[in-house]
Structure formats: C-alpha cells, structure tokens
Chains A and B, each alone.
Chain A
C-alpha cells in the first residue's frame, strides 16, 4: 500500500480552483449510466446523495434509521462556521483555515483544510436558499455567535438546533430527488460489508433490519458517510445506533484507517448519574459564551451549596489559566483542565466528577430573558435530565466522548486506499487533525457532500466504464456467505453475558486507559485485556431471537463485535504516537505547566494502518505532513 494524497501543485489558495479545472468530467448524458451507492444520510451522506442525483447520477442511498431525517447530525446544537466576515471583525478564509489547522494542533493536511475554509461560504448561501431558518437580526440579515478556539464571530446558528435545521435542509433536498426518482432510498437497512472486485469498490452487502434478509447492491462507486466511532467508549454523546461497522468492514477489505487515537472529549456534557446510564448528553459549547466555568478553591467547599461559596472562594480556572481565550478555550484544553481540578479533589456534585457552568453574571448583566432567548431549549433539556433549574443554580458539567477525528484515510479527492471507495464527514480523517474546533463538524460534513465529492467523484468515474458486475458475481456471493455465517455464529453462542454488559466493560476499559489521558503502561495493559474481552464476547455472549426478523439484540451484537476489534487499533495507535497533540494526551509528554507537548520532528505525520489479517498486527504507513503556508508553532491560548 502506498499513500498518495494527490495534493494539487501550485500556491495553496489556488489549489482547489486549479484542481477543479484539471480533473476529468463525466458527460451529462453519461452520468445516468453510473450507479453510486451512498451509505449514511447525515449531513455528509444526504448532501452528497442529493447533489449527485441533481447532477444526473443514479443514486441508491442507505440508512439504518427508519427515515433519512434522523441521522445523528441532527443533534448538533451550536452552529456552523463560515468565513463570511459579516461581522467586520477581521475574519477571512485564511483565518478560518489557520484557526482550524492550529486548533487541530498541526496534525491536519493543509490543502484539505484550506479548501474547507474556502467552500464554507458557499455552504451558508446554499442552506439559506434551501430555507434553513438561521438566526436573524432585526435588519433581516444573518446573525453570528462566537465559538471555542476563535477570536472572531463566525458561527451561524438556528437557536440551539443548528444541526437539526441543516440536516432537514439536506434531507429535504434528498427527498426532492427521491420524489423525482433520481434516488432510491433504503431505510432500516444496514451495511454489513464492502465488495471489492479486481481492487475496486463495486458494491455492498446489507441486512434489511425488518425482514432480516441479507442482500447485495452493485455500484460503480461506494460512498461511506457513516459517522464516527465514539460509541466504542460505550458512553458518549453519539446516538445509540451510531457504529463503526461500515468503516471497519472497509478497513478489513483494504482501506487504511488513519489516526484512530484522535478522539475528542467534549468539555460540556451532563455528568454521569449511575450505572443505568445509556448515553451522555451534550450541552452546546455555545453556552461557554455566557457561562463561567469554576470549582471551589478549597476541597472542603465542594459539598456546599454553590451559592454559599463567596467569589474569592471560587477558582475560575479557565479564565485564570488562559486569560485571552478564557471560557472559550478549545475543547481538548477545557476538558483536560476539568479533569485536572477533579483529580485534585475539587470536583462537585454527588460523584465529584463535575464542574460548575455558572450563568449568574450573565443573567445580572443581560437579564434572564436574554439568556432564555439564547439558550432556553438547552436550559429546559438540562432541567428535564437533572431536575435542576440552571437559571437559579449553576449547571454541573463534565467531559464526555463526543467526536472522532480519526477515520478512514482519504486523499485530496476523498477517496480511500480502495479505488472507488469514497469517505465523507466524520467517517474520514481529513480535516480536523488531532482536535476539532466547535461548529466545524457541520461545516465539514456539508463541504464534503455538497461541494467536494460531486466534483471529485466525476474524476474517478470518468476513468472507469459503467459496466457493473451483476450481484450474481462470485465475489458478491462469497461476501454474502461470510456475512450470513457471522450472523449464524453470533446467534449460536448462547452464552451468559448480554451484549450491553460486554460493551460497557469495553467502554470503561477504554475510558480509563485511553480516554482524556493516556500512558504507555495503561495502553499496554489495555492491549492485553481487549483481546481477552473479545474472546469472552465470542464465547459467552447471549443473543435471543432469530436472524430472519427484526432483532435489535443481533444488530447490536454485530456492532459491538466490530468495536471489540477497533478498540485494539485505537490503543495501538495511541501507543505508537509517543507525543501529546490535541485530543491525544500522553502523560509522559507534557510541558512543565501540564500542556500537550508535540514532537514535530518525529511525529509530524498521519498514521494510517493497513489490515494484515486476523493473526497479524496491522502495518503502519506514514503520510508526512508538509506545511507550506503555516508555521508550526506551539499552540497557545494564554
């Protein structure tokens, strides 16, 4: 395997325009001869499926949910970044590009990030035209808010439901194409494997989640937009159904998996309340615009009512440590700072794993009505979950797994190491380096789907002939048999432990050993215990019901079976990367004041892993990161 990022030549700001002119086109009359399979209907998948259909391709689109409108992009609250400079506060394409590279701790590919910043402005125009009800000012123009890791106001938002509104925009564009017959939609259908024929991605094998039937679909290209793998940690802010099966199967068929250890722990989530907890709920980072984060200065005060602790007894630790960014320090830094104060024994709440997010100053300054207008739905959500009124008492928050920057390796065209297999959105690794800034996931998902893939897929398809292998081809049948056998094997185990109990154990192990802080001893321990747990899973899991009908326990088992393998790669990558950068914090590599210490000399590369078979360790390939425009510096938010 050789990694060729295919970055166009020429000066950075002109690369994308030049590339768009240089790449091959597919004649409009020929487009309808090509079948494209799109898996996943979040921002990236829905926007790609709609845009490709508008161009004239034949699209088949798949999602595990009952409707394409439900993908987890819908849960994004805060907003979407774009370099519009509507505020006249000094924003520009270059500044958004630079902030993203710096926020990613200089571990992202320069050319991809610059393109992302360039097309960000088109995304806003597109969404407005679709009728996305972005927040407006009284003059009728678009409003903005600030987000972590930036000193300009460039985030567009729709109350606390920006992800929902952007996803509904993409879903409506997709629905229009379904209505026109250009897209055939397959809801409640889960991709369980990829079919590669003569080295090219030619189709997928799926399970119909209602009938249980396993079947194949052939296509000239396969697009995976299946999201991230945060649920490998069991507790995360992801939806219950989010899983890594599609990308993991593609990895095992030859697609390189890049930077799996880059996971984002979000600083503002509602703390865990007990063992029954099924998922964690995020409170938008936008709250940090008006909320101040603190813990008591003295351990003894931690059990007291927050209101009874005087101003000089409080430690506003983010403002103290990072005066210029304060409460808007990037996510990785804020999360680690929260962990630090809790490790010191100054955490609050029943579990002592929590910090305060306090709105009393903003309420005094702006009035409760203004705060209600900005964040009302978030305060309601907090009250529903915790039973507490955050207008009167500070919220309690704690970091939780939220996003995975790692994913399948893709080149500048978003194509993986398997020709014909494209990967978009959170499922790829491309734009966020070692840490993603707030309001950038929505931007990347839509950039990939609306404005990048529709160009770059043509370049690939123009070089192939639209001759589909029929699904009766031997390779389809072989993969179908493998998938069916795996399902049978799972159902035959009939052991003693439920999938959930095994998943929870895996998640706890990963969170302890490969969560906010990692070290060599812990990772080595995890790498010993994960294979044991996997063996336990394959020997002792119990799955009721049958393969030929709705069977949620079986669906879940298949996903957790893949997490059991992915967890090992995650720890292997974390052990390999002997430096700290962004969300990957190795305790052995830190500065005197506890900040991440990068090692640019030895680790300025993308680590892409190649599957070598079940009994062999994966093989590491390195894509060097070359910075032409930016100077790699130590990230400082002080």
Chain B
C-alpha cells in the first residue's frame, strides 16, 4: 500500500516546528509503524536529507521509549499497544497519516518527534521506591503477600513510563503515571512504612514539574499501552488525603 505522511519536524526546543509531507511507498502489512518510518528514513538519507528523528529502543512494547502521536492519538489508538507494536495491517492504501511528538509543557521537544521526559524520573527520585539498602533483607518468604494484593500491585507496576497518559490529557496531567507507582508500592506490606511520605513527595514533585490537574476524563487510561486502570488515581487520592491529614 502507499501512504501519505504529515510529520512534525522541529530543529530543537527553541525553534518553531512545522509539518512536512512524505510519501511512504510499497508499505507491507507485516511492517510495524516504526519499520515503515525506517524505510522512509532510508530513502531520505540516500537522498542526502536528514531522516525523521524519533525515539525507539526495544521495539517489543516494554521499554517505553517510543512516543508518537498518530492521527491525534498517542500510540495510534489500538488497545494495549505501543507504537512499536502497531502494525501496518491496521492502515489502508491511500491513507494520510499525521505523526506528532507528545505535546505537553513538562515534556519539551528535543528534536522532531523526540521529547524530554526527565520530569518522570524526578518524580520517581522523590519517592517512587522502597528505602532498603542492598543486603540484610529478610528471606523472600518471610513476608507473605496475598495473591490478590500481589496481582493488583503487579497490574500497577506494569506501567512502562512512556508518558502517553500525559500526552492524551487535555491538562497534561501525570496522575495515571504517578498513581500507578504509588499504588504498586503502597499496596505491598514492604511499602507501607513510608506510604504517606511517598505519596506526598511524589505529588508535590509532579506539581512542581508543571503537570496539570486531573479532571477524571479517562483519556489517559484509554491510551495506556499497559491498560493501567483509572481506579489507581482514586486510590492515590485517598492515600494523598490521608497523608496530608497526618501532616506529611
């Protein structure tokens, strides 16, 4: 099939960007979206032009590096799928496809489709961990965790930190990302000791980074490639209220 791509090109954070149009010819259904871009880039380079720059690494949907908005939807709108796992069999011959970077003030564009997501790392550094040093920990089976709690913690821990939730939100809120980590750690017995401090510090770092407020429209959960559910946010709000009440 043949496709027309309208791709966002931007030299750096301080330069204005614009859409450029490219033709993608002889696209095969078994290609992933990124492989289709690879082929377009090969043609650009061979013609002495700069390729379209985008982030990707594992290309199996787990590292969270790839970050494209396709036709207005982060990761392209297929349930539970990152853009590296989105295959061309979902597109039609002759279609025009727009490709943009994540758009959110706390994620400035570095180049073309590449954005800076260091704000997510800063939130984890503020409290997204359990404070244990290496060594001296009790036997793994000394802390029983019910299967139900463990499964729920795993559901939350599945977040890949890609930032699609922020890109989808009209307020660029990071609540789904932050609540997934808070839920994962606050649910487990190992994480209870610093539960209040954790949520208070992570939320305040999130606010300082400039992420917007949550109005529970659910657009974040709708695009999440790991299908993190919206109730994580409710759980975090409860933990946060308790922590503030206790004076954290």
Residues in chain B near residue A187, CB distance under 8 A: 118, 121
Q: Which residues of B have CB within 8 Å of A124?
A: 140
* Chain B CB within 8 A of A451 CB: yes
Known contacts A161-B158, A542-B48; decide if A175 and B63 are in contact (CB<8 Å): no
Question: Do B125 and A141 touch across chains, with their CB atoms under 8 A apart?
Answer: no
Within 8 Å of chain B (Cβ to Cβ): is A620? no
Q: Which residue of A lies closest to B158 (CB)?
A: A161
Q: Of all chain B residues, which has the CB nearest A238? A: B58
Contact A542 B45, beta carbon cutoff 8 Å: yes
B131: interface (CB < 8 Å): yes
Partner of B62, one of A161, A273, A279, A544: A161
In the complex, which residues 25-80 of chain A have their Cβ closer than 8 Å to any Cβ of chain B?
47, 50-51, 54, 65-72, 74-75
CA distance A455 to B32 in the complex (A): 45
Any B CB within 8 A of the CB of A463: no
Nearest B residue to A541 via CB reads B45
Interface bits A4-16 vs B (CB < 8 Å: 1, else 0): 0000000000000
| Contact between chains at B63 and A239 (CB < 8 Å) | yes
In chain B, positions 91-136 with a C-beta closer than 8 Å to chain A are 110-111, 114, 116-118, 120-121, 124-126, 128-135
| 1/0 contact string of A154-189 vs chain B (CB within 8 Å) | 001011010111001001110110110000010100
The distance in angstroms between the C-alpha atoms of A274 and B32, with both chains bound, is 11
* CA A500 to CA B44, docked complex, whole Å: 13
**Given A67-B117, A129-B190, A130-B129, A550-B53 contact (CB < 8 Å):** yes
A552 B51 Cβ-Cβ under 8 A:
yes
Q: Give a binary string over B49-74; 1 marks a CB under 8 Å from any A CB, 0 the rest.
A: 11101011111111111000000000
B49 CB contacts on chain A under 8 angstroms: 544
Q: Which of A380-388, A422-430, A508-516, A521-529 contacts B (4 or more CB under 8 A)?
A: A380-388
Interchain CB contact under 8 A, B35 and A278: yes
* Given A72-B58, A128-B137: A500 touches B42 (CB 8 Å cut-off): yes
A-B pairs with beta carbons under 8 A, tally:
222
8 Å CB contacts to B: which residues of A136-151?
A: 136-142
Task: Known A67-B117, A273-B30, A552-B51; judge A176-B46 contact (CB<8 A).
Answer: no
Query: Which residues of the other chain, B, contact A273 by a CB distance below 8 angstroms?
Result: 28, 30
Interface membership of B188, Cβ < 8 A: yes
Q: A75-B62, A125-B137, A129-B190 are in contact. Are A380 and B125 (CB under 8 A)?
A: no
Let me know if B141 and A141 touch, CB within 8 A.
yes
Measured between C-beta atoms, what is the minimum distance from A185 to chain B in Å? 8
Q: Are B141 and A66 in contact (CB under 8 A)?
A: no
Given A129-B137, A542-B46, does the pair A75, B31 have CB atoms closer than 8 Å? no
Q: Which of B1-9, B142-150, B234-242 contacts A (4 or more CB under 8 A)?
A: B142-150
Q: How far is the CA of A380 from the CA of B140 in the complex (A)?
A: 31
The distance in angstroms between the C-alpha atoms of A384 and B60, with both chains bound, is: 10
Check A178/B130 contact, CB under 8 A, given A65-B57, A69-B161, A553-B51: no
**A281 nearest CB across to chain B (Å):** 5
Q: Are B28 and A274 in contact (CB under 8 A)?
A: yes
A451 contacts B114, CB within 8 Å? no
- Most chain B CB neighbours (cut-off 10 Å) among A74, A131, A178, A549: A131
**B85–A385 touching, CB < 8 Å:** yes
Quick check: is B244 within 8 A (CB to CB) of the other chain? Answer: no
A450 near B: Cβ within 8 Å? yes
Complex CA distance for A282 and B58, rounded to whole angstroms: 11
A627 CB–B CB distance under 8 Å: no
Q: A458: CB under 8 A from chain B?
A: no
Task: Give the docked Cα–Cα distance between A141 and B144 (Å).
Answer: 5
Of A50, A51, A129, A163, which contacts B130 at CB under 8 A?
A: A129
Contact of B89 with A by CB under 8 A = yes
Taking a contact as CB atoms under 8 Å apart, the answer to whether A173 and B129 are in contact is yes
Chain A residues near B118 (CB, 8 Å)? Answer: 66-67, 187
Find chain B residues with CB under 8 A from A241 CB: 57
CB atoms of A140 and B145 under 8 A apart:
yes
Please indicate the chain B residues that have their CB under 8 angstroms from the CB of A498 in the complex.
Answer: 42, 45-46
Q: Is B126's CB under 8 angstroms from A179's CB?
A: yes
- Closest residue of B by beta carbon distance from A51: B134
Query: Does B221 reach chain A (CB closer than 8 Å)?
Result: no
Distance in angstroms between the alpha carbons of A51 and B62 in the assembled complex: 25
Q: Is the CB of A240 closer than 8 A to any CB of chain B?
A: yes
Partner of A549, one of B61, B111, B145: B111
Does A634 make an interface contact (CB < 8 A)? no
B154 within 8 A of A: yes
CB atoms of A75 and B110 under 8 A apart: no
Chain A contacts with B in 540-575, Cβ cutoff 8 A: 542-545, 549-550, 552-553
Interchain CB contact under 8 A, B147 and A136: yes
The yes or no answer to A126 lying at the interface (CB within 8 A) is: yes
Render A387-422 as a binary contact track against B, CB cut-off 8 A, 1 for contact. 100000000000000000000000000000000000
* Residue of A130, A282, A387 with most partner-chain B CB within 10 A: A130
B150 touches A278 (CB 8 A): no
Are B157 and A165 neighbours in the complex by a CB distance under 8 Å?
A: yes
A381 and B125 contact, Cβ closer than 8 Å, known pairs A65-B65, A136-B150, A140-B145: no
Determine if B167 is an interface residue (Cβ-Cβ < 8 Å).
Answer: no
Interface residues of B in 9-62 (CB under 8 A from A): 11-12, 28, 30-32, 34-36, 38-39, 42, 44-46, 48-51, 53, 55-62
Residue of B nearest to A211 (CB): B12
Please judge, given known A-B contacts A240-B57, A553-B51, whether A277 and B35 are in contact too, CB under 8 Å.
Answer: yes
Question: Are A131's CB and B63's CB within 8 A?
Answer: no
Partner of A129, one of B85, B87, B138: B138
A519 to B65, CA, bound (A): 40
Asked if A179 and B60 make an inter-chain contact with CB atoms under 8 angstroms apart, the answer reads: no
Residues of A within 8 A of B144 (CB): 136, 139-141
Name the CB-closest residue of B to A242.
B57
> Are B190 and A130 in contact, CB atoms less than 8 angstroms apart?
yes
Cα A51 to Cα B11 in complex, Å, equals 39
CA distance A310 to B118 in the complex (A): 56
Flag whether B153 is at the interface (Cβ < 8 A): yes
A277 to B117, CA, bound (A): 28
**Does B80 interact with chain A (Cβ within 8 Å)?**
yes
CA separation between A510 and B38, bound complex, in Å?
22
Q: How far apart are A69's CB and chain B's nearest CB, in angstroms?
A: 6
Contact in complex: A381, B58 (CB < 8 Å): no
- Asked if A459 CB lies within 8 Å of chain B CBs, one says no
The reply to whether B57 and A131 contact each other, CB–CB distance below 8 Å, is no
On chain B, the residues within 8 Å of A533 by CB distance are none
Answer whether A129 and B132 are a contact pair too, CB < 8 Å, given A70-B63, A278-B59, A384-B81.
Answer: yes
Inter-chain CA distance A279–B34, complex, in Å, is 11
Question: Which residues of the other chain, B, contact A74 by a CB distance below 8 angstroms?
Answer: 58, 62-63
Q: How far is the CB of B79 from chain A (nearest CB, A)?
A: 10
Assess A550 versus B110: contact at CB under 8 Å? Given A69-B64, A159-B154, A381-B61.
yes
Does B60 lie within 8 Å of A381, measured CB to CB? yes
Task: List B residues at the A interface (Cβ < 8 Å).
Answer: 11-12, 28, 30-32, 34-36, 38-39, 42, 44-46, 48-51, 53, 55-65, 80-81, 85-87, 89, 110-111, 114, 116-118, 120-121, 124-126, 128-135, 137-141, 143-147, 150, 153-154, 157-158, 160-161, 184-185, 188, 190-191
A residues near B (Cβ < 8 Å) are 47, 50-51, 54, 65-72, 74-75, 84, 86, 122, 124-131, 133-142, 156, 158-159, 161, 163-165, 168, 171-173, 175-176, 178-179, 185, 187, 210, 239-241, 273-274, 276-279, 281-282, 380-381, 384-385, 387, 450-451, 454, 496, 498, 500-501, 542-545, 549-550, 552-553
Q: Write 8 A-B pairs (CB below 8 A) sorted by A numbering.
A: A50-B134, A74-B63, A172-B128, A175-B124, A239-B59, A273-B28, A279-B59, A450-B135
Which 7 pairs of residues, A with B, have the shortest CB-CB distance?
Answer: A140-B144, A179-B125, A172-B129, A129-B137, A133-B154, A550-B111, A273-B30
For the complex with contacts A67-B161, A501-B42, 9 further pairs of A-B residues with Cβ separation under 8 Å are: A47-B134, A126-B137, A130-B190, A133-B184, A138-B146, A140-B146, A276-B36, A542-B46, A552-B51
